[in-house]
């Protein structure tokens, strides 16, 4: 089984990007979630992403590096595993330029030469310990955790997650799905988290699911299936150049995999952790976890309200240097 990685990245310091951003957003700076600096800025940690892949996941077939035509100066585009992808290579022109990550993500299946089995990374998801193919795919299916979770409408993110579930309920009958794939939805691997599934077992409709914010395995064929059934909604909201409450997110494709039984039960929380860097204790914890390689996958979540940002990033870079000091073959 060949597995590809897909990672999206942007250099917000690029002058052409800045000009276009101002042109379409009519803002040079804003604290709104959809256009904040934290949404686009580069940590300067990307080298460690590539070093982690080379050292801990050398089995990857291709790395599809997705940008709006940018490339880090240090990246060797001639490396046999690198496939530089421009947004215009797979997203319809009428929706470009797009500064909305969920629009970019819904077209990933159109990336040229993308394998059927692929793992999608944001540029703040890192591999920090040895990881096998079986962490992402088993029996040819994505590894995932299917646990219900109630999410209130207190943020744009949760509203958009609920948009996904509306489509899921439109196309799937919860009772039928649970009966057909009971052993997957009630796997003992989920441990104590299963209580929510038992609580909502007889509730007639799907509610939002737990969404571990980290590297996500997908089947390309599932993207095609979602587009076959939800193409109208996805096309209409592709016009959202910036994040909007009407969006559908990649969790739609993830939930679709679960409802069609195209997943293998796996408790992703055992080896995956997200660190919101705006919370000071989480900053120190992230540094410690990187140095000790306590997990296989981590997310370092950015926020414009991070205090002492430069120092925080410097500490994290030092931690990465302690486990990944050697230049990778992806670097010039």
User: Is the pLDDT score of 35 beyond 80?
Assistant: no
Strand order from edge to edge, sheet including 82-86 = 82-86, 63-67, 3-8, 117-121, 216-219
pLDDT digits (tens, 9 = 90+) for 156-205: 888 999 999 999 999 999 999 999 999 999 999 999 999 999 999 999 99
Q: Examine the pLDDT at 88 and tell me if it is beyond 90.
A: yes
Instruction: Grade residue 36 by pLDDT with cuts at 50, 70 and 90.
Output: very low
In 186-242, alpha helices (H): 195-199, 220-237
Cβ pair 261, 221 in contact under 8 A: no
Lowest-pLDDT range of 7-16, 129-138, 262-271? 7-16
Structure tokens at 213: 């914010």
Q: Using CA atoms, how far apart are residues 246 and 163, in angstroms rounded to an integer?
A: 7
Please report which confidence band the pLDDT of residue 302 belongs to, taking 50, 70 and 90 as the band edges.
confident
> What domains appear along the chain, each with residue ranges and CATH number?
3-323 (3.90.550)
Pairing, β 216-219 against β 117-121: antiparallel
Tokens 């957003």 correspond to 25
More confident residue, 32 or 221: 221
Give the Cβ contact number of residue 298 at 10 Å. 25
**Mean pLDDT within 301-315:** 78
pTM, two decimal places: 0.94
Average pLDDT of the chain is 92
Please give the Cα distance from 275 to 254 (Å, whole number).
22
Contact (CB, 8 A) for 103 and 91: yes
Looking up tokens 């040079």, which residue turns up? 28
């Amino acid at each position: 089984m060949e597995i590809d990685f897909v990672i999206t990245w942007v250099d917000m310091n690029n002058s052409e990007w800045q000009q276009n951003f101002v042109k379409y957003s009519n803002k040079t700076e804003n604290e709104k979630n959809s256009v904040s600096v934290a949404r686009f800025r580069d940590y300067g940690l990307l080298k460690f992403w590539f070093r982690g892949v080379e050292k801990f996941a050398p089995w990857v077939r291709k790395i599809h590096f997705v940008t709006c035509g940018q490339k880090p100066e240090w990246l060797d585009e001639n490396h046999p595993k690198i496939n530089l992808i421009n947004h215009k290579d797979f997203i319809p022109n009428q929706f470009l330029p797009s500064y909305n990550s969920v629009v970019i993500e819904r077209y990933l299946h159109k990336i040229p030469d993308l394998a059927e089995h692929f793992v999608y990374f944001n540029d703040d998801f890192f591999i920090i310990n040895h990881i096998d193919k079986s962490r992402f795919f088993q029996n040819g299916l994505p590894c995932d955790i299917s646990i219900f979770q109630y999410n209130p409408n207190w943020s744009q993110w949760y509203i958009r997650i609920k948009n996904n579930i509306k489509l899921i309920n439109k196309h799937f009958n919860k009772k039928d799905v649970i009966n057909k794939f009971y052993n997957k939805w009630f796997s003992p691997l989920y441990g104590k988290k299963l209580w929510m599934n038992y609580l909502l077992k007889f509730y007639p409709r799907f509610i939002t699911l737990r969404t571990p914010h980290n590297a996500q395995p997908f089947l390309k064929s599932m993207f095609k299936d979602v587009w076959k059934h939800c193409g109208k909604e996805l096309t209409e909201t592709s016009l959202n150049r910036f994040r909007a409450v009407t969006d559908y997110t990649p969790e739609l494709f993830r939930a679709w995999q679960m409802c069609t039984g195209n997943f293998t039960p796996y408790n992703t929380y055992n080896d995956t952790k997200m660190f919101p860097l705006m919370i000071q204790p989480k900053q120190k914890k992230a540094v410690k976890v990187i140095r000790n390689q306590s997990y296989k996958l981590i997310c370092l979540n950015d926020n414009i309200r991070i205090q002492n940002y430069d120092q925080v990033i410097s500490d994290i870079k030092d931690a990465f240097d302690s486990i990944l000091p050697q230049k990778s073959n992806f670097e010039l």
